[in-house]
Every structure is written in structure tokens, then in C-alpha cells.
Chains A and B, each alone.
Chain A
Amino acid sequence: MSKSRSKRLGFWLVILALGVGMEALGQFEIIDGYVMQVIELIGINIILVASLNLINGFLGEFAIGHAGFMALGAYISAIGTVKFHLPFVVALLVGGLLTAGVAYLIGIPAFKTFGDYLAVITLGFNMIIVNLLNNIEYVGGPRGMVGLPKSTNFLWVFATTILTLVILRNLVYSNYGRVWIAIRENVIAAEMMGINVNRAKLKAFAIAGFFAGLAGALWGHMLQYINPSSFTYLKSTDMLVMLYLGGLGSLTGSVLGATLMTGLLEVLRDFGVWRMVISPLILLIIMLTRPLGLLGNREPRFVVPKEPKAAEEVSHNVPAAR
């Protein structure tokens, strides 16, 4: 077995051991419920940050209203379980898919602009979604929805997180991802290479929306209670902090950023409001010292999928130029 292959296998064994081990520790109550919830929160944040990375890191656009999609996923799935008594897995998928649909629809007008304006539009949609949720009595208005079943547990979060990361990774390292990165690198050249830039962006946006919706659904069914004020631009900013801490264009960075930041915020819980001072301060320090984040555009070798093995020598009977 080659060295890189055994490293890959080792990596997956560690992941598996992590999942099984955590679950066992939780089952035997060696880790208490509170810590378990923090661990679940880390997983949910990883899904959010990795999906945001698709837009901001790989596609190179600037979306700052991700909490809006999270809200949609949380509310749609909650309507599913509370009002229609759907099984959790169905509600989860419906939440993700409908959020993807909304993201796609929002993307159609939003991608007519780019840069700062896109940032403003995405944040605007974030605020409008929260504003609407506040005004719709069916979902409880400002009080939100209560009595969600406690369906989210460690295994659900763990499996969804790993699946999200693998799916995103396989997409990023495929024709889809190459097209996204090409758009980031030079949009005019990309369009001149026969790429329907708008359609590619919409795909990325819908995918990011899908996973943000899943994360929202998991989150709602973890806390069993959701209200509009949890999904304001402050939540979006939290995700941006994690994203930029970990680094743009790196899924490993997203995992790192979400884990470090979530953990840090928990550790700082005793500091009360100062916790909310420290987190932007950390963001500022990162930006000023490492503008690209901890792992900007870098991915460890063993998580990069292998290319298909192409024939080394291709016969060609044309003389080379010159």
C-alpha cells in the first residue's frame, strides 16, 4: 500500500473512531448533555461555514446573509415536524431543498450585481426574511415556534457534517468546482471559455442554501425552540468570523474555524457580554495579521480526492510547434 493511501485510510479511521467514540462517551454519560450540545453546535457551524465558503471562498462572491437561509431551513423543517408531524428526516430534507429553491430564486436578481452590492443584497434578504418571520403569525411572529421534537442528536449532526464535507469536497474537486474557481479568478475569461457564469453561480448559491437549510433544521431540532431574532445579521457575522478565521477557499479551514470559534465562545461564556467584545476583536486581529485566514486556499493533501489516472503517454502523430 502506498504511503498516501495509508494516510488516507488512517484519516478515515480517525474520523470513524471520533464518531463512534463521541457517541459512546455520550451514551455512557461520560460527556454530559451540555458538552454534547456544544459538540453538536460545532458540527452545525461547520456545515454553515463550509457552505458559506462555497460562495465566498471558491466562487469568490461576497455573500453576508447566510443566517437568512439557516432561518428558512429551521422554520420550514419546524413547520414540517410541528404542524404536519412529518418524520424528522423528511422535514430535514424538505427544509434543505426548499431553502435551496429560495436561494436559487434570490440568486437570480442578486447575481445581476456583484462585489459590495451583492453583499448588501444578501444581507438585505437576510433582514427581509427575519422581518417577514416576525410578521407571520402562522410561525409565531416574534415569539417564534416552540415544541419542536428533540430529534437532533450527536449521530445526526455527525453524519450530516461528514456528508456535507464530502459532498462539497467532491464538487469542489470536479468540473463544477473548477468552473467556480475560474469565475473567482477571472470572470471575463471564464465567460469567454464558454461558461454560463450566471448559471454556475446560481448552482453554487442553491447548494450553499441547501446545506445552510439543513444546518438550520438541525439547529432548530436541537434547541427545540426557534425565533426570528436568532437569525439576524449577528448570526451571519458569526459565520463570517469563523469562515475568515479558518480561511477562504479551504474546507479544512472551515472545519478549523468553526471548531475554534465555537469552542472559544463556549469557554468565554463566563465572561458575559465581554464575550461579544472578544470575538470581533479576534476577527480584527486575524484580518490584520493574516488577511487570508489560517488556511487560506490551502488543503492538506490527504483530504484532496485523487484524480482519475489518465494514460501517461498519449500518442499523437503531429509534430510539435517550433
Chain B
Amino acid sequence: MSYFIQQLLNALQLGSIYALIALGYTMVYGVLGLINFAHGDIFMAGAFFGFFIAVMLKLSLIPTLLLAMFLAAVLGIAIERVAYRPLRKAPRMSLIITALGVSLFLENFTRATLGGQQRSFPKLLNVQEFALGGATVTNLQILIIVVSLVLMLLLRYVVQKTMIGKAMRAVSDNKEVLALMGISLDTVVMATFGIGSALAATAGILVGMAYPVIDPYMGIAVGWKAFIAAVLGGIGLIDGALVGGLILGFVEIFAAALLPSTYRDGIAFAILIIVLLLKPTGLLGRPVVKKV
């Protein structure tokens, strides 16, 4: 039983990380219809921002987090401005290939400038253990889960209640409404990339603290998993990211308990393929009708 609770906590922790990153994929997809392959690398960049802020400026957890979120947002917006915006009217394939190119560039540029070795992430939190029904839970685990949940609720509020959030939803449904609201598409896209990147940076720092090493290629696997989570829940849907992230977290943790851990990635992708085949619009998505 205690083993089960332990695994449940681990799954919850992993799932909330996936969900945080999945939000960025899903938001960009909702607004631009683009799979932003570079998003996983913004997660990586966020972790590195956090690393350097903590090591060089010697800031504590909250300021480190906030500053890294800001820097990642700037990076995300800059990428959109330089690489994606000129292609907004180009064939979609060109845009996706560009995203792939940005992703590779970020990974390899980081490696070329900072080196490919793993770096141990500074201790931003004094890790303490608690007993919970026979299982041990750390304050770090609780922090990860709480921060993720709070940010997701905050995002939900922003999207539901604020002007910019309503504009984001309008873009995916009806572009004409946008003009009526007096908000330009560029503003909405900027906000989307900014928020999504800040969330990814948060995830990056949380992962850095939990594992506690970071490297230039850490965004590949996690990024893909998060993307799978987004598709699983229904890409373009905020709630879908949460549902997908948690499910993927649970499946991975419990599959790892049954199978050799080397199969983990394969299983994640197998799930993705099965979901895409059975319900391409995701668990929470509605079916699309083809128009003739």
C-alpha cells in the first residue's frame, strides 16, 4: 500500500511537469495551428536560466523562478518574431520544419557554448522528508505539484476571464471577432508564446531541482512526452493538457514498475499512436467534420 502511495506521488509529480509543458504546446497549437517543436528546448533553456541566476546572482527560489520565467518568455517571443512570423502565410510544412530547425539550433547552440556535460542544479530548497501513510513525501515533491496546480489554475483564469485570454480563444474559433475586440493577432501570438515559455521555464527549474542535473538535450525526451500529453488530452485544449499530462505520468510510472525502464519511451509513443488512431482529437476533443 505504501509502495502504491509512493508511486502515486511520483506519478503526480511527473504528470504535473508534463502538464506544465504541454500547456505551451497546446496554447501555440490553438492559436497558430503549429506544433512548436522548439518548446521542449525552451524548457531546457528555462532550466539553464535558472541555473545561472541561482549560481551567479545567488538569488533564492522565488526570484530565480520569476527571473527565469521572464527570460524564457523573452526567448519564446523572440523565436516567434524571428523564425515563425515571416512564415505565417507559407505552407504549414515549411513552418513545422522551421520549428524543427529552431529546436535543433537551440540544443546544439547550448551545447556548443556551454558544453554537453551534465551540470548539477543548485539547491534552492532544503529538502525535507515527511511520512505520509507509510510513504515518504518531500517538500520538493509537494512544491512541484502545488506550483504546477497554481499556475494551471492561474492560466485557466487568464484564458477565461481576461481580455487577452478571450482573444486567444477567439483566434482559434473566429478570427473576425479579434478585430472587433481591438486586439491584433500579433499581440495574441506574443502573449501565447510568452506565457507558454514562462510555464516551460518553471517546469525546467522544477525538474532541475528534482533530478538534480540539467544538460542541453534534456528538452528532447521531456518535450516529446509533454507533446504526447497535449495530444492525449486534446491539443488546443487547456484542460486537455492537464488531463493528458497526469495520465501520461501515471502510465509511465506504473509501466516502469512492470517493465524494464528501457521500454519507457517506447510505451509513451505507443500510447500516442493508439490515441491518435482511436480518437485523433484527444480524450477531451470533439470530432472534426470535413468540409467539402
Chain A residues close to B by CB (< 8 Å)? 56, 62, 64, 109, 112-113, 115-117, 119-121, 124-125, 127-128, 131-132, 134-135, 188, 234, 237, 240-241, 244, 248, 272-274, 276-277, 279-281, 283-284, 287-288, 291-292
Binds A, one of B105-113, B148-156, B175-183: B105-113
Known contacts A241-B101, A277-B108; 18 further A-B pairs (Cβ under 8 A):
A113-B277, A113-B280, A115-B92, A117-B231, A121-B272, A121-B276, A127-B269, A131-B263, A131-B265, A135-B263, A240-B97, A276-B111, A276-B112, A279-B104, A280-B102, A283-B98, A284-B101, A287-B90
Query: In the complex, A78 Cα to B262 Cα: how many Å?
Result: 23
Contact of A131 among B98, B101, B262 (CB under 8 A): B262
Q: How large is the interface on B (under 10, 10 to 19, 20 to 34, 35 or more residues)?
A: 35 or more
- Residues of B within 8 Å of A121, CB to CB, are 272-273, 276
Across the A-B interface, the 5 shortest Cβ-Cβ residue pairs: A131-B266, A280-B104, A276-B108, A283-B101, A124-B269
Asked whether A288 and B83 contact (CB < 8 A) given A120-B272, A125-B273, A128-B269, the answer is: yes
- Residues of B within 8 Å of A109, CB to CB, are 273, 277
- Residues of A within 8 Å of B172, CB to CB, are none
Q: Are A288 and B86 in contact (CB under 8 A)?
A: yes
Contact of B87 among A240, A272, A287 (CB under 8 A): A287
Q: Are B108 and A280 in contact (CB under 8 A)?
A: yes
* Residues 70-94 (chain B) with a chain A CB within 8 angstroms: 83, 86-87, 90-94
- Residues of A within 8 Å of B104, CB to CB, are 234, 237, 276, 279-280, 283
Which chain A residue has the least Cβ–Cβ distance from B266? A131
B17 beta carbon closer than 8 Å to chain A: no
Most chain A CB inside 10 Å of its own CB: which residue of B83, B100, B116, B266: B100
Q: Are A116 and B96 in contact (CB under 8 A)?
A: yes
Q: Are A116 and B108 in contact (CB under 8 A)?
A: no
Contact of B96 among A62, A188, A272, A277 (CB under 8 A): A62
Q: Are A128 and B266 in contact (CB under 8 A)?
A: yes
**B107 CB to nearest A CB, Å:** 8
Q: Are B97 and A135 in contact (CB under 8 A)?
A: no
Which chain A residue has the least Cβ–Cβ distance from B115? A273
Q: Are A237 and B87 in contact (CB under 8 A)?
A: no
B35 beta carbon closer than 8 Å to chain A: yes
- Type the 1/0 row for B212-232, where 1 means its CB is closer than 8 Å to any CB of A: 000000000000100100010
- Type the 1/0 row for B261-287, where 1 means its CB is closer than 8 Å to any CB of A: 011011001101100110010000000
* Residues 43-99 (chain B) with a chain A CB within 8 angstroms: 83, 86-87, 90-94, 96-98
**B83 CB to nearest A CB, Å:** 6
- Residues of B within 8 Å of A280, CB to CB, are 101-105, 108
- Residues of B within 8 Å of A112, CB to CB, are 277, 280
- Residues of B within 8 Å of A116, CB to CB, are 35, 92, 96
Determine chain B's interface SS by DSSP, over half rule. helix
Q: Are B83 and A277 in contact (CB under 8 A)?
A: no
Q: Are A119 and B260 in contact (CB under 8 A)?
A: no
**A201 CB to nearest B CB, Å:** 15
Q: Are B276 and A117 in contact (CB under 8 A)?
A: yes
Query: In the complex, A124 Cα to B290 Cα: how many Å?
Result: 25
- Residues of A within 8 Å of B105, CB to CB, are 277, 280-281, 284
Query: In the complex, A244 Cα to B104 Cα: how many Å?
Result: 15
- Residues of A within 8 Å of B270, CB to CB, are 124, 128
B257 beta carbon closer than 8 Å to chain A: no
- Residues of A within 8 Å of B260, CB to CB, are 135
B289 beta carbon closer than 8 Å to chain A: no
Which chain B residue has the least Cβ–Cβ distance from A142? B262
Which chain B residue has the least Cβ–Cβ distance from A106? B273
Query: In the complex, A273 Cα to B116 Cα: how many Å?
Result: 9
Which chain B residue has the least Cβ–Cβ distance from A188? B292
Query: In the complex, A188 Cα to B262 Cα: how many Å?
Result: 42
Query: In the complex, A124 Cα to B224 Cα: how many Å?
Result: 10
Q: Are A113 and B276 in contact (CB under 8 A)?
A: yes
**A192 CB to nearest B CB, Å:** 9
Which chain B residue has the least Cβ–Cβ distance from A56? B93
**B251 CB to nearest A CB, Å:** 15
Which chain A residue has the least Cβ–Cβ distance from B259? A135
Q: Are B87 and A291 in contact (CB under 8 A)?
A: yes
26 contacts between A and B (CB under 8 A): A109-B273, A109-B277, A113-B280, A116-B96, A120-B231, A125-B273, A128-B266, A131-B263, A131-B265, A131-B266, A248-B93, A272-B112, A273-B108, A273-B111, A274-B112, A277-B105, A277-B108, A277-B109, A280-B103, A283-B98, A284-B83, A284-B98, A284-B102, A287-B87, A287-B90, A288-B98
**B241 CB to nearest A CB, Å:** 16
**B142 CB to nearest A CB, Å:** 33
- Residues of A within 8 Å of B97, CB to CB, are 240, 244, 283, 287
Query: In the complex, A57 Cα to B184 Cα: how many Å?
Result: 34
Q: Are A132 and B35 in contact (CB under 8 A)?
A: no
Q: Are B98 and A287 in contact (CB under 8 A)?
A: yes
Which chain B residue has the least Cβ–Cβ distance from A64? B100
- Residues of B within 8 Å of A248, CB to CB, are 93
**A37 CB to nearest B CB, Å:** 24
Most chain B CB inside 10 Å of its own CB: which residue of A119, A135, A234, A288: A288
- Residues of A within 8 Å of B292, CB to CB, are 188
Query: In the complex, A213 Cα to B32 Cα: how many Å?
Result: 36
Most chain B CB inside 10 Å of its own CB: which residue of A109, A248, A291: A291
Query: In the complex, A117 Cα to B228 Cα: how many Å?
Result: 11
